Structure 1
Amino acid sequence: MSETLRGGVIGAGVFGGYHARQYARLPGVVLSGVLDLHPDRAAAVAMPLGGRGFTDLAEFLDAVDVVTVASPATLHAEHALAALAAGKPVYIEKPIATSIADGERVRELAAAKGLIVACGHQERVQFRAMGLLDIPEQPLRLEALRHGPPSDRSRDVSAILDLMIHDIDLALALSAADPVTAEGEGILSSDGVWDTARSEVSFADGFTAIFDVSRQAPARRRTMRIVYPSGEIDIDFVARTFRNTTPFALNTGYAETPAGQDPLGASVEGFLAAVRGEAPRPIVDADEAIRALDLAIAVEQALADHR
């Protein structure tokens, strides 16, 4: 690879634009290209940032060193596998895939080629900035709420794979135990996907996680309550504040740190550092992304069984 990495983004939607801007601004990388089926959309994202718009995958892959997959979730595995087959490390927006089999194919091909795979569970960056991942106690209970108004974004997957998977990843990062049961109920939208859901997941050590998501809410709300033996932590992800009654010192000013101000940027920087060999791994790797996907699919199955 060249000293300055050439970044490429697959998908010229909202998240594709976010990722393109990261490659254009971060040191040691430039935005080389954006791939999209619609040439006008690809050019509109790429050209103001000094890159090119592409519609041909092979041509795009020849022009880049690292790839972000920000296409619709149902295409994540297909695009990641193509990039890996071409020898390119990949950063995949969550979810890593929409089936465990596809996620494992991505992991196996990356391992065979010795390439980095990162996944965009960016809330992990904020947890790390707060200091939550350093608490020495195991949690007893977690209650996560993630609501938003209707949107045309991510209609190819359920609210579980779109929204809940963020909080699933955080619960898995906090707990040393494995999930053992998942129960839930939800509401299907007119196009046949789960838009509203509530699930209770039990872990082997007695830890319980409650996940509540909606893509039909009147306003955006994102909160989390974590109960420990020594106290509780209440987080408001929208206000970017939290209340802590545990004895553990957390960073109340996390929102003003570089990672707190730009979680996506910190996540992409972590990916690039791993690609360059400056870090042992990205912030969220393929194993962790597949584990979150596995539990998300179990929740979806619980919702289907409850109908």
Structure 2
Amino acid sequence: MTRIKTAVVGVGHLGSQHARIYSQLPAAELTGVYDIDRPRAEECARSLRVRAFESLEECTQAAEAVSLAVPTDQHYRIGRTLLERGVNLLVEKPITEKEAHAQELVELARKQGLVLAVGHVERFNPALVAAAESIGEARFVESERLAPFNPRGTEVPVVLDLMIHDIDIILSLIRRPVVEIKAVGVPVFTSSVDIANARLIFEGGAVANVSASRVSLKKFRKMRFFSSDSYVSVDMLKRAATCYRKRPGVEISLDRSSGARALPDMLSLLDVKKLRCDKKREPLALELENFLACAAGGGNPVVSGQDGLQALRVADRIMEAIAQSLAEVKKGL
């Protein structure tokens, strides 16, 4: 097997995990790491017995495929440099801060014949993978993604920090245009929005209600998908999924005179199935394997640059709606 020469740019909390996994994957040869924080780069390199590159140029000369895990406001500048130098790129989510910059990276990768993947790692969550076949045509989606406050990631609003994971998942399952967005949000600990809720209405009538907070007391990540005959619950943290499906031929006829007493037990109307979730592998390892397979043999990654761009477009519209709602609140005070 010919191994792909890899490197990681930015070895903070997440980038160091990319480096660790590359060092373990049979398809990868981790050539080294680069970070503007030289001591941090050297510490990571020493722990994995690889080089700490002294410059981005040195990194691109040694690697064919690179993970970019720097703060979001640097994604565009460094990502463009990497693509211009002929390196396949996996950029952590969100793809960039601005839609125009994301579009430019997508076009540049296409022109260069390079792979551009975006690190929406929840697409590789075994619970979501197991649930995808059972979800069918979702008509209503609820998602909640809550996290305790952590300064890491607060250079962007919670919509780009956390909510964008669920935006990407929903867009991958409801493949129709978003025709209307209503959203609210407030800053709490930072100068940008820390709690947000958005209601997305899709062409054809499907609706998604999406909530995110980075000022919660504990972590909570759940999604619920409702279709005409089923309900699928996905717990992203526990990596567990359950499908509740209406039994064939079941119809409820209400006896108005006896009211609730005429209702059968709900579970007697449903087939309940705990979906089998393969928890043996890390989602990030699966994401990096997919990226390397595309870099080696072509094909589109599970989460492409175009997917990252689409998620960013919807996130931008949500942030615009939040800004409008905040302005209306201030006007009314």
Q: TM-score, normalised by structure 2?
A: 0.86
In structure 2, what is the equivalent of residue 73 of structure 1?
72
- Please list, as runs of the form range in 1=range in 2, the aligned pairs for 1:111-150 lying within 5 A after superposition: 111-126=110-125, 130-135=129-134, 137-150=136-149
In structure 1, what is the equivalent of residue 208 of structure 2?
209
Quote the sequence identity (%): 29
- Please list, as runs of the form range in 1=range in 2, the aligned pairs for 1:101-180 lying within 5 A after superposition: 101-126=100-125, 130-135=129-134, 137-180=136-179
Q: Determine if the alignment matches structure 1 residue 301 to structure 2 residue 328.
A: no
- Please list, as runs of the form range in 1=range in 2, the aligned pairs for 1:51-62 lying within 5 A after superposition: 51-62=50-61
Q: Tell me the distance in 1 between the aligned counterparts of 2:5 and 2:44.
A: 16
CA contact (8 A) 2:117 2:304 kept: yes
Structure 1 unaligned blocks of 5 or more: none
CA contact (8 A) 2:128 2:241 kept: no
Post-superposition offset of 1:201 = 0.7
Q: Tell me the distance in 2 between the aligned counterparts of 1:249 and 1:133.
A: 16
Q: Tell me the distance in 1 between the aligned counterparts of 2:124 and 2:235.
A: 15
| Residues 55 and 183 (structure 1), Cα distance of their counterparts in 2 relative to 1, 3 Å cut | farther
In structure 1, what is the equivalent of residue 275 of structure 2?
252
In structure 1, what is the equivalent of residue 62 of structure 2?
63
Q: Tell me the distance in 1 between the aligned counterparts of 2:54 and 2:32.
A: 10
CA contact (8 A) 2:181 2:317 kept: yes
Q: Determine if the alignment matches structure 1 residue 262 to structure 2 residue 282.
A: yes
Residue 282 of structure 1 is aligned with which of 284, 298, 301?
301
Measured against aligned partners, the alpha-carbon deviations of 1:220-242 in whole angstroms (never above 9, x if no partner) come to 01111111111101122122222
In structure 2, what is the equivalent of residue 19 of structure 1?
18
Q: Tell me the distance in 1 between the aligned counterparts of 2:123 and 2:245.
A: 20
In structure 2, what is the equivalent of residue 229 of structure 1?
228
Q: Tell me the distance in 2 between the aligned counterparts of 1:275 and 1:33.
A: 18
Q: Tell me the distance in 1 between the aligned counterparts of 2:130 and 2:235.
A: 15
Structure 2 unaligned blocks of 5 or more: 247-270, 327-333
Q: Tell me the distance in 2 between the aligned counterparts of 1:213 and 1:236.
A: 15
The alignment partner of 2:125 has SS state of helix
CA contact (8 A) 1:228 1:246 kept: no
Post-superposition offset of 1:193 = 1.1
Q: Tell me the distance in 2 between the aligned counterparts of 1:174 and 1:301.
A: 24
Q: Stretches of 4+ moved more than 4 A in 1?
A: 247-251
Moved more, 297-306 or 122-131: 122-131
Please say which structure displays the higher CA radius of gyration: 2
Measured against aligned partners, the alpha-carbon deviations of 1:13-72 in whole angstroms (never above 9, x if no partner) come to 101011001110001312112111111001111221121113421122112121101000
In structure 2, what is the equivalent of residue 40 of structure 1?
39
Amino acid at match of 2:324: D
In structure 2, what is the equivalent of residue 97 of structure 1?
96
Q: Tell me the distance in 1 between the aligned counterparts of 2:129 and 2:79.
A: 31
Post-superposition offset of 1:137 = 3.1
Q: Tell me the distance in 1 between the aligned counterparts of 2:180 and 2:52.
A: 46
The alignment partner of 1:71 has SS state of coil
| Residues 200 and 193 (structure 1), Cα distance of their counterparts in 2 relative to 1, 3 Å cut | same
CA contact (8 A) 1:35 1:57 kept: yes
Q: Tell me the distance in 1 between the aligned counterparts of 2:26 and 2:9.
A: 21
CA RMSD of aligned residues (A): 1.9
Amino acid at match of 2:282: D
Post-superposition offset of 1:187 = 1.1
Tell me how many residue pairs correspond in the alignment.
302
Amino acid at match of 1:57: L
